[in-house]
Amino acid sequence: MGLVRVLLPLSRAAARLSPGPGRRLLGAALTRCLAPSWVLLRPPPSWRRLAWAEEATAVYGALAGAEGARPRDRDLLARSLVWHAHTLMLVNHCEQAYTVLDAAAAVPGARWSPGQRAFQLHLRAQAQFGLARLDDALGSAGECVAAYRRFVPTRRDRTLGGLPGALRTYALVLAALHRTEDSVAAYEECAGLLRDMSLRELSHTILVRVRVLCELTAGLVASGRHEEALVVGREARDHADPVMLRVAPEIVRPLRVRLFVDLARCLEATGDLSAARTTAEEAVAEARILAGRDRTTGEPLLVLALDCLADQLRELGDLSAESNGRREAVDRCAGLVDERPDVYDSLLAVCLERLADCHKAAGDRRDAVRAGERAVAAYRRAAELDPTAHEPQLARVLADLSLLRLADGDLDGAVGAAREAVALTRRLAESHWSAYHALTARRLRVLGRVLRRAGDHGAAVACYTESESILVDESTGSDAARYAASLAAARSGLARALDAEARAHLADGRTDDAVAALRSLLALTRRTDRTHVHARCVTAFADARAAYPDTVVPAWRRATGEEFPTFVYRLSGAVSGESPPGGS
């Protein structure tokens, strides 16, 4: 190809002197320059290849439109349009590439070889994938795989791709559709084909092998198959070596960052925390180099690597180093938000959530609240752009912020955040009942907890009562075990709230209201066999009788027509029995 490129000026001169044969010679030379070269030769820049593709399309368009055009000229025009689409995909101009592919298919009378047709389908699948038309991309990728299976490419067709590349695209689309197991199966078939190839066969697909092994590692991690992921990941690391890094740094270095992150996650899952930390540090080092050379690509990957390293530091108990990593991830992500808020606001929110957790673990309550408030603000901005994707996360971080404010003593702020979380979750449940109805019960428990701490016992009782009712409705048939812990937490919280409500009414002289709360507490003990709930009921009745015998006993008789329960007794010290479930 190097000689052909050198002779392009002569080919252009021939095209001017002899419009028929000269143009055909120039078109052939340009098409030859567009074909992939041997992998160890650095390809020409994308802008130059795009210029060649546009020139080739113009040359063949003139030939096909001229008087007395040959059928072969229309074939070559269609092929040049496909190569033009290929060069557009190299610079991620998916919409333009899709338009050019339509133009190629519309060339009248053009004849397509099996390899050309499969290549066109492959490019169409890639363009649809880039445009987020995933269902269309899946259909095109499936057709492409089937087309490549039906023929053995000749030497001339090798530049038009093959089955391994088609399988990789098919696997990518499946992964984007969250069909992880199907995606992994496609990647494994592709990796098997690549392992069986000779060095000569790999000369045009060696980068495909690096990509496939790295992406297969990620798929195995997502499937929880960490031991297999370690094996494949180490193979991928061997192939994404410094030689390949020198040949195609813009492709291989981002793959290495993601691969090191995946390997660190696998090592963490298998218990090798020291190796996980070392691998995560390698990911950060690679990402820093990439960010220094290509900020657009490198900064998001650096955030990913810093997050992974911070997770390993947390597992090792190094909270100070973890906090530094979380802060840097937040700062770098915040620097990207103005450029692409649709992408980076949600990522910033995730980083801030984890920074808040880090501060909370270190006992820095005020810093945890500030990070939680910034996470809520970031999710609000993201939800304005894409409510479907980000409103569930906004509801979750609002509930988390409520608990952070509660721990910091900001009761009014805690109640406000919890109320908003409940209201948002209720609205989500209106359109996605099965997904958010039970989640509403959890958010009601958070609101009940902060209301009880704020002294609004009646409202807290109402929250816990509704939470219990929702979970009882959900706990039918096989779902009973699924919601058992949540139901126990709701009843534990309800017992606390009823106890607090009864005590507050007695202290304020509202004996009849106190009796109503005690009756509800007694009824609760008949709905659950939890020891701590029964113990709280016993304590509440004993304390009420001991402190207010002249008022609570007559009020009980008036309300029930029965004597105040005499089976209760005074517990000394702390209440014994089971610990109440968390989250009440």
What does the pLDDT look like over 511-524, one tens digit per residue? Answer: 999 999 999 999 99
Distance of CA 4 to the CA centre of its chain: 46
The residue with greater pLDDT, 534 or 451, is 451
The residue with greater pLDDT, 88 or 4, is 88
Cβ atoms within 10 A of the Cβ of 410, count? 19
Of the candidates 110, 179, 104, 101, the one whose C-alpha atom is nearest the C-alpha of residue 140 is 101
pLDDT of 111 reads 83
Cβ atoms within 10 A of the Cβ of 476, count? 9
pLDDT tens track for 265-292: 999 999 999 999 999 999 999 999 999 9
Amino acid at 521: L
Tokens 């039970």 sit on residue: 438
pLDDT of 583 reads 46
Of the candidates 345, 431, 344, the one whose C-alpha atom is nearest the C-alpha of residue 388 is 431
pLDDT of 342 reads 83
pLDDT tens track for 163-180: 899 999 999 999 999 999
Give the single-character DSSP code of 204: T
Residue 366 has pLDDT above 80, yes or no: yes
- End-to-end CA, the chain: 71
Cβ atoms within 10 A of the Cβ of 363, count? 10
pLDDT tens track for 315-357: 999 999 999 999 999 999 998 888 888 888 999 999 999 999 9
CA distance 270 to 145: 36
The torsion angle over the Cα atoms of residues 197, 199, 203 and 204, rounded to 10 degrees, is 0
Report the length, in residues, of the chain. 584
Q: Token pair of 494, please?
A: 């309800």
Residue 144 has pLDDT above 60, yes or no: yes
**HEC per residue, 39-105:** CCCCCCCHHHHHHHHHHHHHHHHHHHHCCCCCHHHHHHHHHHHHHHHHHHHHCCCHHHHHHHHHHHH
Please, which pLDDT band fits residue 303 given cuts at 50, 70 and 90?
Answer: very high
pLDDT tens track for 239-267: 998 888 887 888 899 999 999 999 999 99
Please report which helix (H) or strand (E) contains residue 236, including its range. helix 226-239
pLDDT of 570 reads 41
Angle subtended by helix axes 341-361 and 319-337, to nearest 10: 160
pLDDT tens track for 528-578: 888 889 889 999 999 999 999 999 999 999 999 988 887 644 444 444 334
pLDDT of 166 reads 92
**pLDDT average, residue stretch 72-87:** 83
**Helix/strand/coil for 453:** helix
Please, which pLDDT band fits residue 137 given cuts at 50, 70 and 90?
Answer: very high
pLDDT of 541 reads 92
List of residues 6+ apart from 111 with CB closer than 8 A: 71, 75
CA distance 460 to 450: 8
Tokens 């074909």 sit on residue: 35
Please, which pLDDT band fits residue 19 given cuts at 50, 70 and 90?
Answer: low
CA angle, residues 174, 46, 237, in degrees to nearest 5: 50
Amino acid at 562: E
Please give the mean pLDDT across all residues of the chain: 87
**HEC per residue, 315-369:** HCCCHHHHHHHHHHHHHHHHHHHCCCHHHHHHHHHHHHHHHHHHHHHCCCHHHHH
Helices (H) and strands (E) counted in the chain, each on its own, are 28, 0
Is the Cβ–Cβ distance between 181 and 222 less than 8 Å?
no
pLDDT tens track for 462-485: 999 999 999 999 888 777 788 889
pLDDT tens track for 484-517: 899 999 999 999 999 999 999 999 999 999 999 9
272 torsion bin: left (phi>0), alpha (psi -120 to 50), beta (else): beta
**pLDDT average, residue stretch 395-403:** 96
